[in-house]
């Protein structure tokens, strides 16, 4: 059966077909959620929310694009909605700098590294390094390491051999390491 046949079955309420779609796409959806949130447990929750929404809305899939493209867009929308709804806890500056225990006042230290800021810096460095990669290396790296595609799928999308996909990914990783180490 082709994927479109499985989708059509899922649209009629076939639980086994939907389970097949879930198993086939859960890793990619999780990868998208993780990349966008940077939080593994939140990414798991959002993956489940995505598939719950897909279960309820699978009738709206019209087949004008591939199912994986539609699912990717649903995943991104679920994450964006979660980020829009989530409001950061605001704490007055005074409460952040001082803690009171009884009559003692303790000033908090700000010399601790901020993991969120570190990940932003890492992303900026990686984006800069990705810009320096040759186009073929960049495509395979993004498809495999960022979007979770398997080498078989990459070979189909790019019209190349699976071995070529693996080789390009290996070379891309080596080149990225070299670019990042050199700092250029």
Q: 37, 63, 85 — which closes off a domain?
A: 85
In a domain, 108, yes or no: no
Identify whether residues 80 and 120 lie together within a single domain.
Answer: no
d(CA 33, CA 42): 8
Confidence of residue 30 (pLDDT cuts 50, 70, 90): very high
d(CA 36, CA 58): 23
Q: Which domain holds residue 69?
A: 3-85
Domain of 144, CATH number, reads: 1.10.10.10
For the segment 141-163, the average pLDDT, to the nearest whole number, is: 87
In a domain, 155, yes or no: yes
Domain of 76, CATH number, reads: 1.10.1740.10
For the segment 72-85, the average pLDDT, to the nearest whole number, is: 90
What pLDDT, on the 0 to 100 scale, is given for residue 32? 94
Number of domains in the chain: 2
Report the candidate in 1, 27, 17 with the shortest Cα–Cα distance to residue 61.
17
Share of the chain above pLDDT 90, in %: 46
In a domain, 149, yes or no: yes
Query: pLDDT of 132-150, one tens digit each?
Result: 989 989 888 888 888 788 8
Instruction: Give the lowest-confidence range in 29-33, 60-64, 144-148, 149-153.
Output: 144-148
**Residue 147 DSSP code:** T
Identify whether residues 18 and 72 lie together within a single domain.
Answer: yes
Identify whether residues 11 and 51 lie together within a single domain.
Answer: yes
In a domain, 169, yes or no: yes
Confidence of residue 71 (pLDDT cuts 50, 70, 90): very high
Q: What is the pTM of this model?
A: 0.48
């Amino acid at each position: 059966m082709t994927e479109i046949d499985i989708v059509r079955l899922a649209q009629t309420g076939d639980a086994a077909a939907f389970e097949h779609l879930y198993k086939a796409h859960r890793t990619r959806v999780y990868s998208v959620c993780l990349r966008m949130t940077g939080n593994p447990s939140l990414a798991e929750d959002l993956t489940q929310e995505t598939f719950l929404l897909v279960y309820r809305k699978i009738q709206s899939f019209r087949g004008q694009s591939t199912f994986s493209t539609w699912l990717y867009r649903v995943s991104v929308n679920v994450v964006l909605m979660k980020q829009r709804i989530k409001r950061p806890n605001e704490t007055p500056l005074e409460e952040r700098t001082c803690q009171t225990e009884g009559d003692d006042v303790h000033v908090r230290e700000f010399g601790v590294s901020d993991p969120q800021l570190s990940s932003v810096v890492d992303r900026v460095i990686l984006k800069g390094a990705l810009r320096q990669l040759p186009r073929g290396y960049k495509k395979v790296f993004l498809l495999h390491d960022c979007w979770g595609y398997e080498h078989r799928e990459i070979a189909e999308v790019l019209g190349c051999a699976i071995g070529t996909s693996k080789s390009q990914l290996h070379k891309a990783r080596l080149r990225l390491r070299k670019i990042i180490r050199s700092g250029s």
